Amino acid sequence: MRAPRTDTARLLLVLALATAVTVFTATVPLLRGWFDLRVYYGAVDTWVHHGGRLYDYQVPGTTYGFTYPPFAAVAMLPMTLFSLHTAIAVALLLNLLALAVTLRMLTGRAWRRHGWYGCALALCALALFEPLRDTFSFGQVNLLLLALVLADGWLLATGRGRWAGVGIGLAAAVKLTPALFIGLLLVARRWRAAAVATAVAATATALAARVAPDASRFYWTRAMWDTTRVGRLDYVSNQSLQGILARAGVQDRVVWEAAVLLVLGVWVFRSRRAVAAGDWQAAFALTGLTACLVSPITWVHHLVWLLPSFAVLIRTGHPRVAGTLYAVLCSSVVWLWFDDSSGVDGFLGSNAYAWITLGLLLWLPAGQTRDVRAPLDRSASATAPAPRPAAPEIAQVSGQPGPPSGATAAATGSATGPACGLARSASSDPTGSTRPAAVNPQSSSSRASSYTVRPPSA
C-alpha cells in the first residue's frame, strides 16, 4: 500500500488508526479498572483518615493490599486530599507527563525529523504496547519511576553529575527493583552519583520510618520477604526468572539464585563495556532488562523498563528486530497459556516476554555509539554527491572521542548530549486479559535506559 502523500490523507490515516487503537484498547484487552491505584488510595486513606494499619488494608472483595515500601505511602499522602475519581485523573495526567519526558529523553531531538505525522504514528504504536497500556489502566507508577531513573542518566551524560543519583534514590525508595541502578553507578565507578542515590534512598526510608514506625518495622522485617502478599509466582503475568521456574515446576530456591547470579554476571560484563564506550543508553537499557529478570515477581506492566532497549535497537540500525519484538509485546500472547502452561508450547509461549527480555540482555548492541550509523543515514550518504574539498575538521580540544557528525548525530540525538535510547467495564480480575478470570487472580501491586553520549570528562 502506497504511503499517503498529502497532509489531508495523512491526517485521515492518523484519525483512522487512532480510532482503531481506541476501540482495541477499550474492548479487546479488558481494562484493569485502576486496580492498583485503588489499592494505593484505599490503603493510604485508611491509614491516614481511619486509623487503620497500612499493610492490613485489602481492597474490598479481594485479598490484595499495599506491597510497596513505606516511603511510597508517604509520597502518596497528597492523594488523600482528593476523591478517588480525582486521584485517577491526576494519575493519568502524571503518567502522560512521565511518558512525554521519557520519550524526549529516549529520542533526543531525532523525533523532529519525522514531524507530526511520524510522531502520531509512533503514539498509536505506543498505545498498543501491553506493558504501557497496563500501566495506565492499572494506575501504576512504573512510568514515573522510569522517568526519574532516566533523568539521572541524562544528568550523567550531559556533565551535570552533581545532582545525579537523586532520581534513582527516590525510585529505589518507592520500589525495590530500581535499586539495581545504584549497582550500575558502582559498576561505572560513578562513586559520587552512587553515594547520592544511596543517601537519598536511605533518607527517604528514614523519613518514612519517622512518619510510620510501625508500618516500617512490619515491612522491613516481614512484608518484604513474603512474596505471597504480592501474588503467585507461577501466575502467567509474572515474566521473571522466578516465573519461568515456577511455571516449570522448579521450586528449589538454589536454582533460582544460581540463575540470578548468572544473569547478574552477564549484566556486569555487558554494562561495564557499554559504559567504557560511553554508551550510557545501552548501559541503562541493560540494567532495566536485568532488573525485570532478577526480581522475584515482574508483572507484565513492569516491562515498560524495556522501552530503552527498543530505542537502542533503532539507534544501532535494527528497526526490523525492534518492530518484531515490539509486536510480540503488543499481542498479549502469554495469556493464551492463562489456564495451562504445561508442555513445550507452554514453556515457550507462557514465558514469551521473559525470553524477549533475556534475549535483549544477551544480544542488545552496546558500545556502538560512535561507529554505528542508522539505516536512514547510510542510504542518504549512499545517494549524496561527493563532498567538495574543504578545510579539515577542527580536532576536538578535549581529546575525547566525539559523537557522530552530521546526519548520524541528528538521527541518534547525540549532537548536543544524550538521546535517552527511545472500554468494557472493569474486569473483576485485576491482571486478567481476554482469557476467563482465574479463581484467585493476582494483584499487580508489587515491589518491584538510555543514553547515547560522548564519554564523561575526567
Q: Tell me the helix, strand and coil percentages in the chain, rounded to 5.
A: 65, 0, 35
Question: Which pLDDT value is given to residue 152?
Answer: 92
Predicted confidence band of residue 412 (pLDDT cuts 50, 70, 90): very low
C-alpha cell at 417: 548530549
| Cα gap 65→94, rounded to integer Å | 23
| Cα gap 48→53, rounded to integer Å | 9
- Are 364 and 423 contacting, i.e. CB atoms less than 8 angstroms apart? no
Asked whether the predicted pLDDT for residue 382 surpasses 80, the reply is no
Torsion on CA atoms 349, 350, 354, 359, rounded to nearest 10: -10
Predicted confidence band of residue 29 (pLDDT cuts 50, 70, 90): low
321, 352, 382, 419 from 452: Cα distances, Å: 19, 29, 24, 5
Closest CA to 357 of 394, 403, 307: 307
Question: Which pLDDT value is given to residue 121?
Answer: 79
| Cα gap 456→88, rounded to integer Å | 41
**Is the sign of the CA dihedral 396, 402, 407, 411 positive or negative?**
negative
Could you give the percent of the chain with pLDDT greater than 70? 77
Q: How many C-alpha atoms does 255 have within 13 Å on its Cβ side?
A: 11
Tell me which of 4-8, 9-13, 126-130, 407-411 is least confident. 407-411
Give the global pTM.
0.78
Closest CA to 450 of 112, 192, 158: 158
Could you give the percent of the chain with pLDDT greater than 90? 53
Q: How many residues are recorded in the chain?
A: 458
Amino acid at 384: A
Q: Rounded to the nearest 5 degrees, what angle is found at the Cα of 442, between the Cα atoms of 60 and 125?
A: 110
